[in-house]
């Protein structure tokens, strides 16, 4: 249809036939004209995407309106039998992306380089991109979204957060008429598997990590997962969408799970809680930030925390993921499902791919990056949190008074104190109300210096309470 | 921008400015040109939508790219103070929809007439429509979608199913590259409130319904809710989306909750289950339907059923809704949140409205109706279900044999049998494996005729088991 004037377009439109707006088509898309797809990477996810494209071609054609045709797959090494025709495989990803007959690019290779350059090249050429690359998006969404904007291409990334679970699209589209106050998620399957197993077996962190590695739930180098980098990248993406503000991985406060002990999980169970690695994206209302002129601020953080067993995230076990979104009008929503794995992630990729292909075919675009709100990032110390502190103390009169005094001196209000044991085993368990993170941290540091406090045996944050 | 040639459009496009494709704009949309909105109905939902449009105008402008301006609200009676300028109110919905400066129509009046005609008129005029009207959609989506298709307008209806919970958009978009096998939802808040309360208090159905009415959870005429009509309409919508097949309310097998007794809930608790009114949309694989030439069939049904306490839907209590979607690649997903109420439903309406407005402004369209699969609807009798049957029986030798014989004669395999009580209180509790609904129903009818069976005290279906 390229080259037809507006009249011809208008005519077809009155017949109810698919119309491709002039400016969107660089090649001519008709009902039988295929839409070419390049897949970059053939790991777990890429393999599943290729399989679906080949085995469900007719279904995809029906859903798009035109055939989706796999033009090629970029891999590190050819010559390995991957169950698809050898001529589809190439090590030259750049040439594949640049092919005239490639309209859509699926990036599932991961890592920053060369994914960043390849996606950039595709977008600059007006080719829509579907990516599952959270690390890349957490740092370079701005650059990639700008490239997409310039060429009117789409950048889709549902698969980058929480695998098969639709959470990116609901935040961008379904909640586009609401005000999101908080997003709290379990978005890393490895750490959730480890914490669930520790809670169940009573084993310590290192033994459980070893078991998770043996079972394939943790990678040989588990750093990105257990230190919270993976969750932090996803938190940055979620916060950007939720608050219409550009948030990068560097804006996310991050603690991993390596310091969580078997005793922490016992403590949790004793107080009707469990420990989860949470990605928390929170709007701090302007009235709490006079220094910022009353503008709302954004807090984004990843750390292991106690959550009450009655909280919906507490029962999300093993490799499952879940994301809770709290919005002004919608109230509390929860999205639950498989957050990783080849097939679930491929489901999210394919959903994006069908939408990107429909946009190519019918015209139209996915919503681009929305960062108009430009909310400032609150320093972690300003974040309101609650602490659950276990202290080993001297068994004598006045200890409680001294400990309570430290909390009061730092302006931290105590919710409950429990005294346990006697003699050398005497302990105090203190749960605070919400207070500024910095005040809580300072209080704990001061407690450690108290003569009557033998040791601070555990400090855990408490999330998901109504108080 | 109307009237500019393709060259002018192409030029703006290279500058990265918003482009309105020729064929999509009947009026000229520029960044300062407002998009006019008409709201039909000012009940709970309409009131919240109007409030958001007025109080969050700047946020909506940022998210759309142009101002969303409320042109008017159609109400049954003017002269009542509704907290908005009187000149915005009109009783002439038809004239409001027809106004030149109305680009988008929000229908939250409910009911078939006049909503059907008004939405039809809007769509025929190329005005996109956002509706929360499940009863209308369950019967007339085909007609309305065709009108939208002809004029290239959008028909959005996220709010029609499960209120604030994004489930329509995930089914249409996120899962568009996957194959959905099953959707099971708690999609009616009134019945879920009643069943949750019965389980908690032990009270009977009529007392609990009276209490629900008093608290505002049930309407004065609760028929649509308690008889399952509301859930059936939502099931038809969900099934249509899940299976790319037009399903109407008449295709849905429906039983309400009025026959659920306090004893049924006791029985449920005794076997580690609870009773929920479920909307079930299921793909019956072709290999089970040789008569249909091996084509997959669709079963859509609404009834109260036992579900195990470990099933994620069992803990969805009170007025909350949840929908579980099982797809080939995504696996099991769950969506949870507030399924009704003014503000939650308005959140869903506003999300659709922002997307419809963006499409008007930037060009592009929401995916239209997808019914290419045209899967046949399986008769309810062909549906595989499981039964949980309580029988009052004579306390004598041979009863179990006689009962087991009836199941065997109908080709129904028994999972467990439990004998309880003695003398006049002797009971048998039988749980079957999956069997054809018609065989199960015939078995129960035959049991009632057995001399040794005093009465069939309860028959409940069992859902959500792996078997």
As a whole number of Å, the CA-based R_g of chain B is 26
Q: Please say which residue of B278, B308, B339 terminates a domain.
A: B339
Structural domain includes residue A373:
no
Cα gap B211→B228, rounded to integer Å:
19
Kindly give the residue spans of alpha helices, DSSP state H, lying in B174-222: 189-201, 205-215
pLDDT for residue A414: 96
Q: Please say which residue of A339, A372, A392 terminates a domain.
A: A339
Q: Please say which residue of B362, B396, B425 terminates a domain.
A: B362
Instruction: Name which residue leads in pLDDT, A353 or A424.
Output: A353
8 A C-beta contact, residue A98 and residue A71: no
Residues B15 and B91 in one domain: yes
CA distances from A362 to A66, B30, B217 (A): 10, 22, 44
Closest by CA to B60, choosing from B343, B356, B344, B340, is B356
E-strand ranges in A125-271 read 128-131, 155-156, 180-186, 253-254
Question: What CATH number corresponds to the domain at position A419?
Answer: 3.30.70.260
Cα gap B330→A341, rounded to integer Å:
9
Residues A60 and A130 in one domain: yes
8 A C-beta contact, residue A313 and residue A320: no
Helix (H, G, I), strand (E, B) or coil at B398: coil
Which letter, b or e, does each residue of A216-251 get, where b requires 16 or more Cβ atoms within 10 Å of its Cβ? ebbeeebebbbbbbbbbbbbbbbbbbbbbbbbbbeb
Task: Work out the pLDDT band at A241, boundaries 50, 70, 90.
Answer: very high
Average pLDDT, chain B: 91
- Residue B76: CB atoms within 10 A of its CB come to 11
Closest by CA to B386, choosing from B273, B294, B289, B292, is B273
Average pLDDT over residues A154-165: 97
Q: Please name the residues between 33 and 52 in chain B that touch chain A, using a CB distance below 8 Å.
A: 48, 52
pLDDT for residue A29: 53
CA distances from B217 to A153, B208, B260 (A): 47, 11, 18
- Chain A hits for B9, Cβ within 8 Å: 22-23
- Burial bucket for residue A99 (CB in 10 Å: 0-12, 13-18, 19+): middle
Cα gap B138→B202, rounded to integer Å:
35
Name the DSSP letter for residue B107.
Answer: E
> What is the number of domains present in chain B?
3
Helix (H, G, I), strand (E, B) or coil at B459: strand
pLDDT for residue B425: 84
Average pLDDT over residues A252-262: 97
* Global ipTM: 0.91
Structural domain includes residue B448:
yes
A3 touches B: beta carbon within 8 Å: no
The answer to whether the CB atoms of A333 and B52 lie below 8 A apart is: no
Task: Work out the pLDDT band at A305, boundaries 50, 70, 90.
Answer: very high
**Structural domain range at position A458:** 383-462
Residues A239 and A316 in one domain: yes
8 A C-beta contact, residue B205 and residue B194: yes
Name the DSSP letter for residue A66.
Answer: S
Residues A398 and A351 in one domain: no
Structural domain includes residue A368:
no
To the nearest whole Å, the CA of B317 is away from the closest chain A CA by: 12
Question: Of A11-25, A177-191, B117-131, which range is least confident?
Answer: A11-25
Residues B96 and B235 in one domain: no
Res. B53: pLDDT tops 50: yes
Residues A179 and A45 in one domain: no
8 A C-beta contact, residue B337 and residue B118: no
Residue A211 CB contacts under 8 Å (≥ 6 apart), including other chains: A197, A203
pLDDT for residue A289: 57
Residues A34 and A182 in one domain: no
The answer to whether the CB atoms of B176 and A16 lie below 8 A apart is: no
Structural domain includes residue A376:
no
What percent of chain A has pLDDT above 90? 84
The answer to whether the CB atoms of B152 and A332 lie below 8 A apart is: no
Residues B350 and B323 in one domain: no
pLDDT in tens, B429-457: 999 999 999 999 999 999 999 999 999 99
- Burial bucket for residue A384 (CB in 10 Å: 0-12, 13-18, 19+): middle
- Burial bucket for residue A425 (CB in 10 Å: 0-12, 13-18, 19+): exposed
pLDDT for residue B31: 58
Residues of A forming the annotated binding site for L-homoserine?
A: 219
pLDDT in tens, B404-433: 999 999 999 999 999 988 888 899 999 999
pLDDT for residue B350: 98
| A291 cis-preceded (ω within 30 degrees of 0) | no
Residue A70 CB contacts under 8 Å (≥ 6 apart), including other chains: A37, A39, A50, A53, A54, A88
Residues B355 and B327 in one domain: no
pLDDT in tens, A63-99: 999 999 999 999 999 888 899 999 999 999 999 999 9
Helix (H, G, I), strand (E, B) or coil at A150: helix
pLDDT in tens, A395-418: 888 899 999 999 999 999 999 999
| B88 cis-preceded (ω within 30 degrees of 0) | no
CA end-to-end span of chain B, whole Å? Answer: 61
Residues of B annotated catalytic, as ranges: 234
pLDDT for residue B18: 38
- Chain B hits for A364, Cβ within 8 Å: 359, 362-365
Res. A292: pLDDT tops 60: no
8 A C-beta contact, residue A415 and residue A431: yes
pLDDT in tens, A2-43: 333 333 333 333 333 333 343 333 334 555 689 999 999 999
Structural domain includes residue A372:
no
Q: What is the β-pairing status of strands A453-462 and B331-338?
A: unpaired
Average pLDDT over residues B212-226: 95
Residues A173 and A307 in one domain: yes
Question: What CATH number corresponds to the domain at position B149?
Answer: 3.40.50.720
Question: What CATH number corresponds to the domain at position B271?
Answer: 3.30.360.10
pLDDT for residue B33: 85
Residues A158 and A182 in one domain: no
Res. A290: pLDDT tops 70: no
Task: Work out the pLDDT band at A319, boundaries 50, 70, 90.
Answer: confident
Res. A50: pLDDT tops 60: yes
Cα gap B445→B433, rounded to integer Å:
18
The answer to whether the CB atoms of B52 and A329 lie below 8 A apart is: yes
Res. B26: pLDDT tops 90: no
Average pLDDT over residues B296-325: 95
Average pLDDT, chain A: 91
- Chain B hits for A315, Cβ within 8 Å: 315
pLDDT in tens, A345-367: 999 999 999 999 999 998 888 99
Task: Work out the pLDDT band at B142, boundaries 50, 70, 90.
Answer: very high
- Chain A hits for B19, Cβ within 8 Å: 23, 152
Element (H, E) at A208: helix A205-215
Average pLDDT over residues B36-40: 98
Structural domain includes residue B49:
yes
- Residue A128: CB atoms within 10 A of its CB come to 27
Q: Please name the residues between 143 and 202 in chain B that touch chain A, using a CB distance below 8 Å.
A: 149-150, 152, 158, 164-166, 169-170, 173-179
Residues A120 and A259 in one domain: no
pLDDT for residue B17: 36
Q: Please name the residues between 49 and 88 in chain B that touch chain A, using a CB distance below 8 Å.
A: 52, 56, 59-60, 62-63
Element (H, E) at B104: strand B104-107
8 A C-beta contact, residue B333 and residue A159: no
What percent of chain B has pLDDT above 70? 92
DSSP conformation letters of A44-63: HHHHHHHHHHHHTHHHHHHH
Cα gap A115→A121, rounded to integer Å:
10
């Amino acid at each position: 249809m390229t080259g037809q004037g507006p009249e011809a377009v208008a005519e077809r439109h009155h017949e109810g036939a698919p119309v491709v707006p002039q400016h969107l088509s660089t090649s001519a898309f008709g009902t039988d004209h295929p839409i070419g797809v390049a897949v970059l990477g053939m790991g777990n996810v890429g393999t599943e995407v290729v399989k679906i494209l080949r085995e469900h071609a007719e279904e995809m054609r029906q859903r798009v309106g035109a055939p989706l045709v796999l033009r090629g797959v970029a891999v590190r090494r050819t010559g390995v039998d991957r169950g698809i025709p050898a001529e589809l495989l190439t090590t030259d990803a750049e040439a594949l992306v640049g092919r005239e007959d490639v309209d859509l690019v699926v990036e599932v290779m991961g890592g920053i380089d060369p994914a960043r350059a390849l996606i950039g090249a595709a977008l600059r050429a007006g080719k829509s991109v579907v990516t599952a690359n959270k690390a890349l998006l957490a740092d370079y969404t701005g650059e990639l979204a700008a490239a997409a904007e310039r060429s009117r291409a789409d950048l889709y990334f549902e698969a980058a957060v929480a695998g098969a679970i639709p959470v990116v699209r609901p935040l961008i589209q379904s909640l586009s008429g609401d005000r999101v106050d908080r997003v709290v998620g379990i978005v890393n399957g490895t750490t959730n598997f480890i914490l669930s197993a520790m809670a169940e077996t009573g084993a310590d962190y290192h033994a459980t990590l070893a078991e998770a590695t043996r079972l394939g739930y943790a990678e040989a180098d588990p750093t990105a997962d257990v230190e919270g980098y993976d969750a932090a990248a996803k938190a940055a993406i979620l916060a950007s969408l939720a608050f219409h503000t550009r948030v990068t991985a560097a804006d996310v406060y991050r603690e991993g799970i390596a310091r969580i002990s078997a005793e922490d999980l016992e403590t949790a169970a004793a107080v009707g809680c469990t420990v989860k690695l949470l990605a928390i994206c929170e709007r701090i209302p302007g009235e709490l930030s006079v220094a910022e002129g009353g503008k709302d601020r954004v807090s984004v953080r990843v750390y292991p925390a106690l959550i009450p067993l009655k909280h919906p995230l507490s029962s999300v076990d093993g490799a499952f993921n879940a994301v809770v979104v709290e919005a002004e009008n919608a109230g509390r929503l929860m999205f639950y499902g498989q957050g990783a794995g080849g097939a679930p992630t491929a489901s999210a990729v394919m959903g994006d791919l069908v939408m990107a292909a429909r946009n190519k075919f019918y015209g139209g675009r996915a919503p681009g990056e929305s960062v108009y709100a430009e909310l400032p990032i609150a320093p972690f110390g300003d974040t309101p949190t609650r602490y659950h502190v276990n202290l080993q103390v001297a068994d004598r009169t006045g200890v409680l008074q001294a400990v309570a005094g430290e909390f009061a001196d730092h302006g931290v209000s105590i919710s409950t104190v429990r005294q346990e044991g006697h003699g050398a085993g005497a302990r105090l368990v203190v749960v605070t109300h919400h207070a500024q993170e910095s005040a809580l941290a300072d209080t704990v540091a001061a407690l450690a210096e108290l003569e009557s406090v033998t040791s601070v045996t555990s400090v855990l944050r408490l999330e998901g309470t109504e108080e």
